[in-house]
Structure 1
Amino acid sequence: MKSILLKSVFFFFIALQLQAQELLPFVENYSKSDYQGDNQIWNVAQGNDDAMYFANNHYLLRYDGVKWEKYTLPNKTIIRSILIEGDKIYSGSYKEFGYWYRKDGTMHYVSITKNLRLFDEKDNEEIWKIFRFNGSLYFQSFNDVFIYDGKTIKKIKFPFLISYCFAVDKNLYVASVKDGIFKMNGKYISNPKGWNVLKKTVVHAIEKHQNKTYIFTQKKGVFVVSKEGLKSWDNPINETLKSATINVAKFIKGEKLVIGTGNRGIFILDLKNNSYKIIERDNVLMNNSVLSLGFDKENDLWLGLDNGIAHVEVNSPISFFYDNSGILGSVYAVATINKGYLIASNHGIFEYSSGKFNMMPNTQGQGWNISLIDGKYIIGHNDGTFSYENNALKKINGVSGGWNMSKSSINDTYFQSTYSGILVYDNPADLSQYKIIKDLAKPIKYVAQNKKNEIWAADNYRGLYRVLLDDNYNTLKVENVTQQSKIQNDFGIKIFEFRKEILFLINNTWYTYNSISNKLEENALFNASFKNVTDVVSIDEDHFMVLQNDILYHIYAEGNKFVWNIIQEKYYKGKLINENLRIFKKDNYYLFNLDDGFISLKLEYENKQNSKVEIEAFSNDVLIPSQSKIKFNTELKINVISGIYGASKPNLFYKLDKEKDFVSISDGLIILNNLSSGYHSVEIFKHDGATYDKVSTYKFKVAEPWYFSFWMILLYLLIVGAVLFFYYKWNKLRYMQKLKLQAEELKHQREILEMELKKENEINLQEYEKHILELELQTKSSEVAGKSLSIAKQTEMIDKIQEILEKEKDFSKLKSEIKKAIKINEVNKHEWEIFETNLNQIHNEFIINLSKKYPHLTPKDIKLCVYLKMNLSSKEIAPMMNISFRGVELHRYRLRKKLSLTQDENLSKFLLSL
């Protein structure tokens, strides 16, 4: 307890001493690491191409909202000043001035002083300022002024050291370092009457505003020109400016004056109410030394710092409250009070008044919500509920965790959601009196009512409940509607009231309650209009805010139509407190909380996004105009340039080749890789949250890969032609060889055929000869057989005759004649010899085989075998062998033995089988 008390005293003491931060415009700082240049920014101007140009020592910087470019002069000298007219960016440097122009995506320089002897060799002259006066350009150094009419250059040398020249109306003033200000009249100069106070004073700006001329000095503050001369500016801030060291000053839109200083950043003075804001290193500026001021077409401010660049959105409808100290902590709710702001944070409840924080007593810890009820601020806190009224705070109950306070749509009853349930305040005049909704003792985050005796409650974790009550807020029935509706994913439900209708945002889907089916049904209008919404907060009956894809949109309802206004993500990226976005509306503006402060936004805020964009595409740092061709397998960088740097910067998306999904353009840059060859189209769309409107198209062609180029295709054709040619030659050669082989094969086949025919002919001839021989043999065999029979008959007859004759010995003469005849018959023995020869020829092969097989056979045996093979009987054989029949039989018997034949084997058949 003691440590808590000490801690609270410490916070209270620190809070009392801490200098608070006013509502400030959004500031975007750019360091050297962003633009890759030098420290000092001597001059700032916006070109006709909407790009911002900066004189940055050795570089001319160019920034189009997407990428930074830097360029150096040919002689590498320091650039001190720039002036933009038309498409030319004039620059001044050491003994040099000229102009730049843009072509093919890069800057080109043309020297005006080249080959001209304008500068004295002994002087180290640098051109510190360029301005137009009386139709000519003036290039001013610390010693001279060079007047350029577009053709010739005239040099005016002054007898004193110059700080700056100023063109005011039709007057030209020259500020010297020691002798004050001189007014030029042609070639003559003179000190204006009553301006002697400026002697030995450095003047950095002379500006005219509402018929008054203001002179801004470095260390003596601001003077105003009067008829009597000069008088010190009658403004309390003037004393502060004397010590701040004025470097530059400009009047801007809305009766405001911007003064850049050497050690206090910038002062933004509102001349209507004599108030001012300081933007310096202690709050949002990266450097306190402001060297130059510039403006863009949105009337926002660009600061050239001693070490960097800052973009200050002084003309934006959005303002910011920052707590860089960390004492305030994360802001959960904020409300306006007469003397400042009332803030609920995770550190406690703070009162902001007179530029200081004041932690309210006994409020250390988590603050949740601030609601204005009947002139009193009701604060939900971890330790209970507090009421703030007339600069005093009192505790009205000790129920922990007052998350949200909501008013009934049908009466003046208020419902408070807490850690442990719902509190009911039915008498706004006496909030110390409350009732507790029974039977719902759980952490409830949101409550709403649009019907009598019925309220809706969303659990902090999951579940939606419909609570039926009697007139005294006693619980009659509690229904878990998400369970009844069979909605599975019912975590983190949001309740949203729109024109007295209650909607439920559950898992990115909008529902309303159907009292007939007693279930939730999807709401067609909101689901069609508000897709991918993760949070929604009401502002008033016609205004609300949604968080869609991490981007906030201010929505204004016109009938059943919704007007979307994007709030740039850069204002709150990484600073929104998850599911704890709270809005406090006051008059024509509203506040919503951030992790380190809060944002103030005008209720009539309308973001008219710029529809005009410029596209610059580069491949290998070479500009690729639309309808051009790039090499295959190269990276294409497409810069989508809106020329808008502030709140109205469009939210851009693109589609490649009419793909289905829209792709967000991060920081205005599209990088395309791995593109197929052929024609491609990139369509650029502006997205207001509800619709995608096409604003531009970039078309290009990706060349065929090198291996499909014209020359490669020609080479392929030549190779294919050569291959076909050689294939043809080879095929022809192979064909000729094949023909040759076929011819040789045919020749060989013909030779084989001839040989076969010859062989066949020989065989046929042999067969024929054999056939002839067989015929002859057959004939001879027949002859032999006939002869054999004839001879046998003859022999038999002769033998018989001889036998008869032997018997008839008396017939001597007959006998003599018969003997004579017999001798004649013996003469026919020659025929027998022929017979034996023919017999041997016919059976020569048989005789040879028989002799080889049975070499022990005698000629008579062989002869008998031949006769038997001829199928002659023993009787026929006997006379042929000149033996008796019995002798033949005996010979046959012996032959069987020689042939080793059994008794059952037939001798004739055996011989025929050989």
Structure 2
Amino acid sequence: MRSLPTVNRIVFTFFWLHLASILFAEPTSQNQFFAPYIRNFSKQDYQAYNQNWSLCQDPSTGFLYAGNSKGLLEFDGTRWQTYRLPKRQIVRSVAIDPQGRIFTGGLGEIGYWQANSNGRLHYHSLAKQISNPVFPKEEIWNIVVGTDFVFFQSFSTGFLYQQGRVRELRLPGNVLFLYAVHNRYYLQAIGKGLYELVNGQFRALPNTEQLASTAVHAILPYGNRGLLIGTRDHGLFTYEDGQLSRSEHAASRFLQRYQCNKGLSLPDGRFAFGTILNGLMITDTSGAILYSLNQREGLQNNTVLSLTLDAQGSVWAGLDDGIDAVAFGYPLKYFTDPNGQLGTPYDAVLYNRKLYLGTNHGVYWCDFPTSGLPVYHFIEGSQGQVWDLTVVDNQLLCGHNAGTFRITPAGGWEQLSDQAGGWSLQPLSAHPGFALQGIYSGLCIYRRDQTGQWQFSHRIDGFGEPIREVWEDPEGKIWLRHAHNGVYSVQLSPDLRKLSQLKWTPVYSKDEGLKRSLGIFGAIRRVFTGWNDEHLFLRQDGNLLVTRPNGLKAEFSISNFAWMDDYENIIPLDSTYYLLCFEKGYALLPRQELSGVSNRQLASKPLIRQLAVLNNADSHSFNFRNEAVLGRFSAVLKAKENHLVFQFSLPESIQEPLFSYRLVGLDEQWSDFNKQAEKEYTSLMPGTYRFEVRSTADGSIASLPFEILPPWYQSSWAYAVYFLILCGLVGISFYVHRWQVSAHQAKVRQQMEEKLKREQEHHQQQLIQIQKEKLEQDVIGKSEELANTTMNLIHKNDLLLKLKGEVEKLKDEVRQRQTVDQATGHINQLVKLIDSNISSRQDWKVFEKNFNKVHEQFFKRLLSQYSGLTPDDLRLAAYLRMNLSSKEVAKLLNITVRGVELKRYRLRKRLNLEPESNLNEFMMAF
């Protein structure tokens, strides 16, 4: 290898010093290369307090129970539920007996929880049987279920519950916890050695006085009859054949340094120890550390308060903050990079028995496989973003942000191309000796020279799209995955210089066909091709499904946040392992364990936990704690009880399960698999139904049949009543028919009579109309006569006025000429005669008579509303009613226009009209 620059030598020196400090400063795991699968439950998940003091599992239901500072927690595999003690005390201890009773202890309280007829836990207190006055101030820290008894203890008192009675035991002083080992029961008296509980009495174990100087926090089976004793600050001891020996191996030193707090014996002979300062440790019988798990490796907290083992062999740890489940038998093994040394891996490959990782820091390699802490070596010159590692003709080619490079077996770094962003390199089977590469800005062609070395040849002309992935399907068609938008199917020209065909599609159609052929449901993010005929489907929620055409389907729960969005990658390293690239490390999936996972998942069966009937104030629910109770249940619901909610879970599953469901009788199609653990149905019609749920596509199905009765008006007796009513209606129909015929005849007669009557009324109306029209013509005639009379009067008076004027002139001339008096007398007589004709009352009477015929009741109505009117006012009102002008009225009244205006003014005053009101309009509208 070439000499390293100064900066890199400093980096590598620091790394080796740091690695040495890890190796020599504290005991290390023999298999820290792979960490087991850890599932975290925070207080936000279980909705209680931080600290979890005790853990146990119900073997009949698979439910997990935790003694929490808030109360008793129950986990059915999907959801958490909290039960509070009567005085809301902290639950310090929890244990389960073979009858399924869940015993708990707290401050001044002991008792047990048992499911009632509705499936909910009900608490039975035993505290009232204890007469010790100190008991209300005692915390019950430990509960041990024996063959025929249950032992409750604090650090100073002990109580034995047997045959329904509680009695106090005399303890050998202040004690720590009682432990059951090989069907025998041991505890330590503080400041003393070990004691064994025999027939209700504590007997000292010989040669255990050496333990007086420490606190015993774990007693586990060791061999056939021996004991493995974990102490708080003196490590491990063994007790065999009456002799106590202190262990000096790595596990003992680890526990001495980090303070052993809990111990657990695993089925395969290994041991699990929880510490106060450094999480969880797994050892073998020789004291070698197999796993050391703390917050760096995925635990939520380094202080382990409780441990238990579930039916699947997973270790559950109750922590000072949260609950963690550690699945040592889970196939996926993780490598985390807590110090950020490697960066984020984007690709990996096995080359010459070495594992090469391409990350955003560069290229690293380590020996593979390795049984210890892997030692990563950096490829000098590879600093920067690495996208692709591909082995072609036993040459390791690297697609890099700065171009494309060859990594030699000796660790050399040779540049092949300066085309930035080598995302994917694919040898072309249709063009041997050539390879196609997708880069940031198009496509490149590489060729193998005469010496067998791969070299950059040229770019594809006329194409500049960013291509993240290139592959060739079994038919030889080339596919390109765009960096941001869909895929292209392309065809290269014979000289490989340009694209002769380019077709875009939003998705790779063969992935959809593959899903249908394998029976894969739900949203799929990416599809990866594995070894032989295996395919790996990355679901939208982050879970991974591995399938084979022979029916194998193995599902793995992976946090959606572990993957790198848009850069997910799964690499078949060899026929043994798949490597999964995560944001903060990677995981290995052994292929030989896929069948076992598939078989376990096929055997797993979900549990329908609750059927809730929502019916306003009459809502209720049915709860089920196991398959036996569910199998005996068959619900018959009322018609109005048709709003149902089903809740289901998958007990004993350390993974976050996925569910698919259907309601037979309503829909026959299974839903897509999802994390939703409940389903709601509203407004169900009467009928027989069966709700079914499954956790894997081909796994066992849990079902719940039920019936919704029809409403009372659709019941059998209701139909019988309907039949009788129908028969009665048929009998009555004949009578009704006869009555209808008679009624119809009467109706026809009535209709004829009504028709005749209507015709008569019509003729009468026609006659009335004719008479009305005649009267209207008479009125029109009278109006015309009145108008003519009025006009005649006007013309007569006008003529007489003219004559009077001429006579007046004649009179004046005669007077001026001083004619004889006799002529003057005749002239005066003539003028007087003319005046009498102008103001003739007879004319007014004729006018008034005709006016009343046309405008009936006008004067009466006017006088009834305005009593102070004079005859002159009435006469003026009549003329105004006929819409005569002031000039015309003046001629009729033989006065001046000004005189008419004065009369109009007086009339307005008597009528009390407003100044802005028009008198003519008022009279015409009156």
Contact 2:578 2:590 in 1 (8 A): yes
Matched, 1:32 2:43: yes
User: Residue 506 of structure 1 corresponds to which residue in structure 2?
Assistant: 509
User: Residue 490 of structure 1 corresponds to which residue in structure 2?
Assistant: 505
Aligned to 2:105, which of 89, 92, 97?
Answer: 92
Quick one: structure 1 residues 525 and 50, their matched pair in 2 at CA, closer, same or farther if it must change by over 3 Å? closer
Tell me by how many angstroms 1:245 deviates.
Answer: 1.3
Counterparts in 2 of 1:667-686, with a 5 A limit? 667-672=675-680, 674-676=682-684, 678-679=686-687, 681=689, 683-686=691-694
Quick one: structure 1 residues 215 and 587, their matched pair in 2 at CA, closer, same or farther if it must change by over 3 Å? farther
Q: Which amino acid aligns with 1:490?
A: T
User: Residue 269 of structure 1 corresponds to which residue in structure 2?
Assistant: 283
Larger CA deviation: 297-306 vs 319-328: 319-328
Give a deviation string over 1:297-349, Cα, whole Å, max 9, x none.
22112111122212222221112233456665543123468998543223433
Counterparts in 2 of 1:410-809, with a 5 A limit? 415=435, 417-419=437-439, 420-424=442-446, 426=448, 431=453, 433=455, 445-447=468-470, 456-458=478-480, 460=482, 462-467=487-492, 475=496, 479-480=500-501, 482=503, 489-491=504-506, 505-506=508-509, 509-510=512-513, 526=517, 535-547=526-538, 553-558=544-549, 561-568=550-557, 570-572=558-560, 575-578=563-566, 580-604=568-592, 605=594, 606-607=597-598, 608-609=600-601, 610-615=603-608, 616-619=610-613, 622-624=620-622, 626-629=634-637, 632=640, 636-647=644-655, 649=657, 651-655=659-663, 657-659=665-667, 662-664=670-672, 666-672=674-680, 674-676=682-684, 678-679=686-687, 681=689, 683-686=691-694, 688=696, 694-699=701-706, 701=708
Among all aligned residue pairs of Structure 1 and Structure 2, give the percentage whose two residues are the same amino acid: 21
Contact 1:165 1:172 in 2 (8 A): yes
Tell me by how many angstroms 1:260 deviates.
Answer: 0.8
Tell me by how many angstroms 1:178 deviates.
Answer: 0.9
Tell me by how many angstroms 1:446 deviates.
Answer: 4.6
Contact 2:460 2:497 in 1 (8 A): no
Q: Which runs of 5+ in 2 are unaligned?
A: 23-31, 368-372, 623-632, 723-746, 751-926
Larger CA deviation: 405-414 vs 202-211: 405-414
Aligned to 1:124, which of 128, 137, 153?
Answer: 137
Query: In the aligned structure 1, how far is the partner of 2:522 from the partner of 2:682?
Result: 32
User: Residue 292 of structure 1 corresponds to which residue in structure 2?
Assistant: 306
Tell me by how many angstroms 1:150 deviates.
Answer: 2.3
Q: Which amino acid aligns with 1:593?
A: C
User: Residue 397 of structure 1 corresponds to which residue in structure 2?
Assistant: 416
Query: In the aligned structure 2, how far is the partner of 1:97 from the partner of 1:312?
Result: 30
SS at match of 2:214: coil
SS at match of 1:42: strand
Quick one: structure 1 residues 699 and 318, their matched pair in 2 at CA, closer, same or farther if it must change by over 3 Å? farther
Query: In the aligned structure 2, how far is the partner of 1:37 from the partner of 1:61?
Result: 8
Quick one: structure 1 residues 138 and 584, their matched pair in 2 at CA, closer, same or farther if it must change by over 3 Å? same
Quick one: structure 1 residues 187 and 32, their matched pair in 2 at CA, closer, same or farther if it must change by over 3 Å? closer
Query: In the aligned structure 2, how far is the partner of 1:702 from the partner of 1:548?
Result: 41
Give a deviation string over 1:628-679, Cα, whole Å, max 9, x none.
4378599643211221322494543334753365434654522426434534
Tell me by how many angstroms 1:374 deviates.
Answer: 6.8
Tell me by how many angstroms 1:618 deviates.
Answer: 2.5
Give a deviation string over 1:336-376, Cα, whole Å, max 9, x none.
68998543223433456846766543333321123456776
Q: Pick the structure with more strand per residue.
A: 1
Quick one: structure 1 residues 450 and 437, their matched pair in 2 at CA, closer, same or farther if it must change by over 3 Å? farther
Query: In the aligned structure 2, how far is the partner of 1:418 from the partner of 1:704?
Result: 67
SS at match of 1:268: strand
Quick one: structure 1 residues 698 and 664, their matched pair in 2 at CA, closer, same or farther if it must change by over 3 Å? farther
Matched, 1:180 2:193: yes
Give a deviation string over 1:418-441, Cα, whole Å, max 9, x none.
315344465899645565586687
Query: In the aligned structure 2, how far is the partner of 1:224 from the partner of 1:260?
Result: 18
Larger CA deviation: 77-86 vs 16-25: 16-25
Give a deviation string over 1:794-821, Cα, whole Å, max 9, x none.
xxxxxxxxxxxxxxxxxxxxxxxxxxxx
Q: Which runs of 5+ in 1 are unaligned?
A: 483-488, 493-504, 511-522, 718-741, 746-914
User: Residue 46 of structure 1 corresponds to which residue in structure 2?
Assistant: 57
Matched, 1:207 2:220: yes
Tell me by how many angstroms 1:99 deviates.
Answer: 1.8
Query: In the aligned structure 2, how far is the partner of 1:422 from the partner of 1:110?
Result: 76
Quick one: structure 1 residues 528 and 590, their matched pair in 2 at CA, closer, same or farther if it must change by over 3 Å? closer
Give a deviation string over 1:36-90, Cα, whole Å, max 9, x none.
3233211111112221111113511111123222222234443222211232112
Aligned to 1:63, which of 47, 63, 75?
Answer: 75
User: Residue 347 of structure 2 corresponds to which residue in structure 1?
Assistant: 333
Query: In the aligned structure 2, how far is the partner of 1:228 from the partner of 1:291?
Result: 30
User: Residue 364 of structure 1 corresponds to which residue in structure 2?
Assistant: 383
Quick one: structure 1 residues 228 and 73, their matched pair in 2 at CA, closer, same or farther if it must change by over 3 Å? closer
Quick one: structure 1 residues 458 and 79, their matched pair in 2 at CA, closer, same or farther if it must change by over 3 Å? closer
Query: In the aligned structure 2, how far is the partner of 1:249 from the partner of 1:667?
Result: 34
Q: How many residues align?
A: 679
Query: In the aligned structure 1, how far is the partner of 2:232 from the partner of 2:70?
Result: 26
Contact 2:399 2:422 in 1 (8 A): yes
Query: In the aligned structure 1, how far is the partner of 2:655 from the partner of 2:607?
Result: 18
Query: In the aligned structure 1, how far is the partner of 2:572 from the partner of 2:548?
Result: 19
Contact 2:524 2:540 in 1 (8 A): yes
Tell me by how many angstroms 1:593 deviates.
Answer: 1.2
Query: In the aligned structure 2, how far is the partner of 1:275 from the partner of 1:429?
Result: 50
TM-score of the pair, normalised by structure 1: 0.64
Matched, 1:345 2:353: no
Contact 1:676 1:702 in 2 (8 A): no
Quick one: structure 1 residues 295 and 451, their matched pair in 2 at CA, closer, same or farther if it must change by over 3 Å? closer
Matched, 1:106 2:127: no
Larger CA deviation: 541-550 vs 265-274: 265-274
Quick one: structure 1 residues 387 and 247, their matched pair in 2 at CA, closer, same or farther if it must change by over 3 Å? farther
SS at match of 1:240: helix
SS at match of 1:242: helix
Quick one: structure 1 residues 481 and 46, their matched pair in 2 at CA, closer, same or farther if it must change by over 3 Å? same
Quick one: structure 1 residues 231 and 391, their matched pair in 2 at CA, closer, same or farther if it must change by over 3 Å? farther
Q: Which amino acid aligns with 2:662?
A: Y
Q: Which amino acid aligns with 2:48?
A: G
Counterparts in 2 of 1:198-277, with a 5 A limit? 198-211=211-224, 212-227=226-241, 229-269=243-283, 274-277=288-291
Query: In the aligned structure 2, how far is the partner of 1:396 from the partner of 1:703?
Result: 79
Q: Which amino acid aligns with 2:552?
A: V
Q: Which amino acid aligns with 1:381?
A: H
User: Residue 499 of structure 1 corresponds to which residue in structure 2?
Assistant: none
Quick one: structure 1 residues 352 and 256, their matched pair in 2 at CA, closer, same or farther if it must change by over 3 Å? farther
Query: In the aligned structure 2, how far is the partner of 1:91 from the partner of 1:122?
Result: 15
Q: Which amino acid aligns with 2:153?
A: Q
SS at match of 2:137: coil
SS at match of 1:199: helix
Query: In the aligned structure 2, how far is the partner of 1:429 from the partner of 1:293?
Result: 62
SS at match of 2:177: strand
Counterparts in 2 of 1:817-836, with a 5 A limit? none
SS at match of 2:92: strand
TM-score of the pair, normalised by structure 2: 0.63
Query: In the aligned structure 2, how far is the partner of 1:80 from the partner of 1:251?
Result: 22
